[in-house]
A and B are shown apart, each in its own frame.
Chain A
Amino acid sequence: MLDAYDITVSLGRTQILHGLGFRAQAGQLSAIVGPNGSGKTTLLRAITGDVPFGGSVTLNDADTRALKPWDLAAIRGVLPQSAVLAFPFTVIEVVRLGLQKGLSAAETDISMAALERVSLAHYADRFFQELSGGEQQRVHLARVLAQVWQPVQDGVPHWLLLDEPVASLDIANQLEVMEIARGYANAGGGVVAVMHDLNLTAMFADHVAILSGGRCLAAGHPKEVMTDAILSKAYGCKLQVNTPPHTDTTFVLPHTAQRV
């Protein structure tokens, strides 16, 4: 289980998160949604330890601040929002950077399998910097997958922490990435994803936390919490949630841009 308890984060004089709580179970895809500036990414960055925070974050019952970087890296991979890379590494070399210590670089099996998982195996020998933004994002996902390749190892669940994993992708790749995340959760791993796309969230997530103004407005199964009232309140505009006939998933329809 991932348990973020009473999280407060301040950047400069601005308090961004106000004693926020967030829980995610292994075997589930948990989404964090909310409008711009609601604190989604900041919450994820507190969970990954990238920003100083008050409160506590435990991952598989261990305080993340007490774990050594290598031990933490062994149980959770983090996909950042924007991908940077210095120096001309090739795609496969970038994926191998994620491999755990102790695995020899010659063990390309995992890295190649990870690249195949994101459908980019044929780009293995290309220079990373020659790829498009969306492709680079998928290479980084492959690197993260290579890092925590087994969703569960010796009974211990591993975690994918994804910051807007589909932000720069076309619709086919969005679906592919969400399927990868879904598959990881189905295999027993834990997935936490910061999402902008409410429809993909409704389609793939088991659990969603809706943030607004640095607080958690509602959390639960998408069908329970993604309602007209809650979403309209969170985003400050009129939204309508529907279920199309013959399907099980809800979808969110923008109504007007008029602020409510």
Chain B
Amino acid sequence: MAADIASQGTSARTVSRRPADRLRRARFAHLVLGLLLICVSVISLTVGATDITLTDALGKIMRGEPLSRMERVVLLDIRLPRLAMGLCVGAALAVSGAVMQGLFRNPLADPGLVGVGAGAGLGAIGAIVLGSFLPVAFIDTFGNQLIPIAAFFGGWITTLLLYRVSTRNGRTSVATMLLAGIALAALAGALSGILVYMADDRQLRDLTFWGLGSLAGASWSKVAAAAPIILLSILAASFLGRGLNGLALGEATAAHIGHSVQRLKNGSILLVAAATGAAVAVSGGIGFIGIVVPHLLRLATGPDHRTLLINAALLGATLLVAADMIARVIIAPAELPIGIITAVLGAPVFLWILLRRRDLVDM
């Protein structure tokens, strides 16, 4: 009997992919992706519009020579915060994509695509335009955090609405989710438009910088605003893995096998909103990382969220820093908006997922 089965083509194909190996491979991927992340980070510190390289600077430090003022500014005040922000934003986008896909039980859910990014953007724009109406004491205390917090609330409300509209009896309709996402994005866009119309000249300048969808405006103060929220979200995500695995069986079964489904859903929605909000607040929304990264990882190491979420953080950070590097050097000394790079890489992958899904017509 066993020989009969082994001789069948489909079984022979599956033998090479033992499930125990998938989990081990996913854990091994932590290491590989971690190393890749370090390599890309080091290279990104070296590459830029000026020909200051990390090796020269490190050599000087080793020899005990002081760095020139130029070197200090370029490395410590320009490239390093930009790297830190790239890492945070990339990790946040990939993790919130993976969590959202787990929550909606669908690989096409992505905060950028279904309006959560637009909702967070509305929050950020609201903070920029209406922030001046807030009491001075409040701005003095929370000034730095105001945009991320507002973006978080914008993203949170959008995610809640989206889930309410597209999920009935524990099942999520993809069609409804995408359509509701379009409607919510349009609404957020319209409200943002009204706010932009109300803005004065100084606010318009802030908005333009913010809306570039780029890491070009990176600064230590922005890193300080976004990094704690994003790091906390990633930490929290590592506790959601098991529950999101259970949720793959549907809400009722997830509860039957012992998960507190409502808590899991609330936690996931909060996390997606916080991570997306923080990322959008500092980088203006960069697309497709949240779809591409989890999808590639699922192909390579399987859908187990216990490893997927951590790997997504690592690969998302690496990819975004790499994309930012390309954006900086491809037409140097000018810069390409990073959103163009991620869209060029990401949109075809999205179409590929659509083509591969035979059951899409039914959903």
Contacts and interface: CB of A to CB of B under 8 A. Distances in A.
Interface of A: 48-50, 68-70, 72-74, 77-78, 80, 83-90, 92-94, 97-98, 100-101, 105-106, 108, 122, 124-127, 130, 143, 147
Given A89-B248, A92-B19, A93-B302, A78 B253 contact: yes
B301 to A, nearest CB: 11
A78 B255 CA distance: 10
Contacts of B246: 97
Given A78-B253, A80-B253, A89 B10 contact: no
Interface stretch (B58-66, B208-216, B257-265): B257-265
Interface of B: 1-2, 5, 10-11, 14-15, 17-20, 22-23, 105-107, 171, 242, 245-250, 252-253, 255-261, 298, 302-304
Contacts of A86: 105-106, 247-248
B245 A97 contact: yes
A88 B298 contact: yes
Given A84-B249, A86-B106, A86-B248, A98 B298 contact: no
Contacts of A100: 258
Nearest to B358: A129
B277 to A, nearest CB: 25
Contacts of A89: 248, 302-304
A16 B207 CA distance: 56
Contacts of B257: 73, 77, 97-98, 143, 147
Contacts of A80: 250, 252-253, 256
Nearest to B306: A105
A130 B105 contact: no
Given A97-B248, A147-B257, 15 more contacts: A48-B252, A50-B252, A69-B259, A78-B253, A78-B256, A84-B253, A86-B248, A88-B302, A90-B14, A90-B17, A90-B22, A98-B257, A122-B1, A122-B2, A125-B14
B258 A73 contact: yes
A192 to B, nearest CB: 14
Nearest to B250: A84
A130 B10 CA distance: 10
Given A73-B257, A130-B10, A125 B15 contact: yes
Contact of B256 (A73, A88, A93): A73
Contacts of A130: 10
Given A108-B20, A122-B5, A122-B11, A85 B249 contact: yes
A126 B14 contact: yes
Nearest to A45: B252
A48 B248 contact: no
B248 A69 contact: no
Contacts of B242: 101
Contacts of B15: 125
B18 A69 contact: no
Among A49, A84, A85, A92, the most chain B Cβ lie within 10 Å of the Cβ of A84
